[in-house]
Structure 1
């Protein structure tokens, strides 16, 4: 498993959720290919991304908390991945990989921050616009593509590119984060490739046009995932391809009332429903057994160190200093493995008003270990026992004062550590009147 050179594919939909899959009990949606993928994969059930879009992507691409790369928002220049960050594709290129990005970037629009300048040999990137009138750039050259459904374009271009790379015998890395099923959605059908979403209308008391369109887009991603794995099989490279499917970049956006897999909160919330998403690892040739689940507490920042160790990427001093995540190799080999220490994860929604970082230390944030999560949100400080109350329904802050004190202390140290790294806070200059 270590120092091998599998092809690597990461697919991460935009604004889906844990609950948007039939294999996790959704009563409406049908995702047969992801259900099959679950049977072929190791499923990480306690995997946390971030509560919002740009931060989640930054965590994946840097191997560290998004604040450590300056990413504290999705706008105002605060979505930019700091230029001193070595990205995952940049690191993999030093191990002989060719790298391709197909989808939504959202970690900087300006020249040096763009994907074609952050380690990707080829990039097809959503820039702006509604689904069927999107502007998409190819290696930095934008073009409006009326009538093109972006999800199709990204899967098609990724497949074409992989076909070329496999014939050169070079290992490839594909990062495919489609723009779907992120809103907004129109009331009519003009922003969709067809009207098939209407099949969901009336299927649930909380169903509406927005949720119907989200569910249709998730089902379509499911279809494209099935086709991609089938193509890898036909090429004879499926066994030696590490296929990682991260169910969403953050929690639910619009669908939580229909089904939220028993969780509290959604996108933009510091509760479990804001950050917990499913992660599937499929790699038969690497010895990963399918149909197995792991309940160890895992972060999106763990993907990068895991892939660097698998591929034998040289760990430079800069990478050693940068990467905070943990290699999942022990867990991939034995899913019953747990960390020897009491691991803590911080989920800070960020997105404070310009100049309000210091005042936002305790706003929309949680710190958790495997059992407890200490949340600061609109209801003040809350403590939940995730072992006995995974849905975060009962505040037990008065019952565990020593746990509260310990989590507060760890959080205080963390907050001090990230302050010098908030490098984008002054990036936004409001227009002069």
Structure 2
């Protein structure tokens, strides 16, 4: 009896062990499966909305008391927010870094004009990498990385292109179509793939509508895609539809400020409409949508009657075209319904150079070998876990623009410490020149985001370490500056002007609108 009971107990114990072991194996297998379904190679559609000259302070959600951006605010609330996202101080450099995954000075971009905005042809862009992974790619709006044929986005990885020339609509002397000087931002002449076309309506509305029309084609074809909605707004000159300016004019704001904030609110409405349209199409569950800006705020003081009010800049020092936090710290919001966690703050130091590897990682795309490979990091670990291991890093800033025979006539070497900076997780070291002497401003950026207290004298060892790294980086960039000393091109000889005159003579300029 005892032996029989003992055998039964042993059998039960053995069964329990087997069951426990099976559960352990199942849990480990399930965990492995979860890891296998990580974001890497998840192949989402990607929509990247990039605005121009809009700063951290140009959102009601970040505290702006004048402008209202409910759609962007709601988008941000539902997103993964990179709270320390760094870009370049001006537009062409930021775009070069995004496309190449490298610092702009490492791909030949040292200005926004004078042919120094042309991204080196040795760069294999991330859209080209996505194309090789089976993605269709579209650009709608601003390119600003060269208007010569070989530099155009059509030859740098984009299947669909609707763009203007130079860095802004109406910048005829710098390369845009002369027709756009008459009524900038409305009824523009644009390049659509290989044909110059006449469009209707406000430019921001048009770029959103054109992107959605193209996106619908990709959805219907069950084709993975990358859509780059690269807006010119709210870059100057300041133009907006009357309905968007009215509220600000009624409050007594000057026309320029009313138009700029009107442009911001128009962007907000368009983003809201895009999200509703994607939801109606059932496209949110397989689409990553990113909202970002290209550099810090650019806005003149607001005039209200006899008052002059400094525009709200989220408490940051500096703005566009400066090496301070206000010149390079931008919003970066990432939303993917049901996949990314919502309302998440990522505090790790991230940057525009990280987008290349991130998009390639998501798409399961193998980055081709090239002379100028991307040097950033994939943000996928942080998208999966905001506390993922993320080693400290040094990010270098320099606004370029040396020796342009305009505002800066000094040489590159004379400009080495003229508006440069180094960022790490803790520190921001800014270099400026005062009568030829280098001045150092060191901030503990997390404790002092407004950069009010200079700690340079208290931490000479930090100055020494960061400056040594900066020196090495600066010296390494000289070999990459392939666009220096190029001749300035007159307006009538700019590539888009020549292309326009040729097409006008041969077949005219057809009307075009998106089929949405």
Q: Same fold (TM over 0.5)?
A: yes
- The runs of 5 or more residues in structure 1 that have no matched partner are 186-190
Query: How many Å separate the matches in 1 of 2:65 and 2:300?
Result: 12
State whether structure 2 residue 457 is matched by structure 1 residue 411.
Answer: no
State whether structure 2 residue 242 is matched by structure 1 residue 194.
Answer: yes
Structure 1 pair 144/235, CA: closer, same or farther in 2 (3 Å)?
Answer: closer
Is residue 270–residue 377 contact of structure 1 (8 Å, CA) maintained in 2? no
1:315 Cα deviation after fit: 2.5
Query: How many Å separate the matches in 2 of 1:92 and 1:410?
Result: 33
Is residue 123–residue 370 contact of structure 2 (8 Å, CA) maintained in 1? no
Query: How many Å separate the matches in 1 of 2:411 and 2:418?
Result: 11
Partner of 1:312: 364
State whether structure 2 residue 379 is matched by structure 1 residue 322.
Answer: no
Is residue 14–residue 182 contact of structure 1 (8 Å, CA) maintained in 2? yes
**1:353 aligns with one of 385, 393, 403:** 403
Is residue 90–residue 295 contact of structure 2 (8 Å, CA) maintained in 1? yes
**2:354 aligns with one of 273, 298, 302:** 302
Query: How many Å separate the matches in 1 of 2:458 and 2:60?
Result: 37
Partner of 2:297: 252
Is residue 10–residue 176 contact of structure 1 (8 Å, CA) maintained in 2? yes
**2:286 aligns with one of 237, 240, 252:** 240
Query: How many Å separate the matches in 1 of 2:201 and 2:115?
Result: 29
**Helix, strand or coil: the match of 1:176?**
strand
1:70 Cα deviation after fit: 0.4
Deviation digits for residues 355-397 of structure 1, max 9, x if unmatched? 8222221111111111111111255321112122110112111
Is residue 94–residue 352 contact of structure 2 (8 Å, CA) maintained in 1? yes
1:192 Cα deviation after fit: 3.4
Partner of 2:46: 8
Partner of 1:333: 384
Once the two structures are overlaid, the 10-residue window that deviates more, 31-40 or 377-386, is 377-386
Is residue 162–residue 193 contact of structure 2 (8 Å, CA) maintained in 1? yes
1:159 Cα deviation after fit: 0.6
**2:197 aligns with one of 127, 143, 152:** 143
Query: How many Å separate the matches in 1 of 2:103 and 2:430?
Result: 18
1:338 Cα deviation after fit: 4.8
**1:108 aligns with one of 146, 166, 174:** 146
**Helix, strand or coil: the match of 2:188?**
strand
Deviation digits for residues 297-323 of structure 1, max 9, x if unmatched? 11111011011011110123328x611
**Helix, strand or coil: the match of 2:84?**
strand
Partner of 1:122: 160
Partner of 2:68: 30
Partner of 1:372: 427
Is residue 21–residue 31 contact of structure 1 (8 Å, CA) maintained in 2? yes
Structure 1 pair 225/430, CA: closer, same or farther in 2 (3 Å)?
Answer: closer
**Helix, strand or coil: the match of 1:26?**
coil
1:202 Cα deviation after fit: 6.6
Partner of 2:276: 230
Partner of 1:288: 340
Partner of 2:440: 381
1:430 Cα deviation after fit: 6.9
Deviation digits for residues 193-238 of structure 1, max 9, x if unmatched? 325313113748xx43222211111111111111111111111111
Is residue 240–residue 263 contact of structure 2 (8 Å, CA) maintained in 1? no
Query: RMSD of the alignment, in Å?
Result: 1.7
Is residue 126–residue 179 contact of structure 1 (8 Å, CA) maintained in 2? no
Is residue 100–residue 173 contact of structure 1 (8 Å, CA) maintained in 2? yes
Is residue 5–residue 310 contact of structure 1 (8 Å, CA) maintained in 2? yes
Partner of 2:232: 179
**Helix, strand or coil: the match of 2:483?**
coil
1:429 Cα deviation after fit: 4.3
Is residue 4–residue 311 contact of structure 1 (8 Å, CA) maintained in 2? yes
Query: How many Å separate the matches in 1 of 2:236 and 2:278?
Result: 31
**Helix, strand or coil: the match of 1:239?**
helix
Query: How many Å separate the matches in 1 of 2:72 and 2:48?
Result: 14
1:255 Cα deviation after fit: 5.9
**Helix, strand or coil: the match of 2:440?**
strand
Is residue 99–residue 120 contact of structure 1 (8 Å, CA) maintained in 2? yes
Is residue 96–residue 107 contact of structure 2 (8 Å, CA) maintained in 1? yes
State whether structure 2 residue 261 is matched by structure 1 residue 211.
Answer: no
Is residue 240–residue 260 contact of structure 2 (8 Å, CA) maintained in 1? no
Deviation digits for residues 252-275 of structure 1, max 9, x if unmatched? 101672210010000000000001
Determine which structure has more spread, i.e. the larger CA radius of gyration: 2
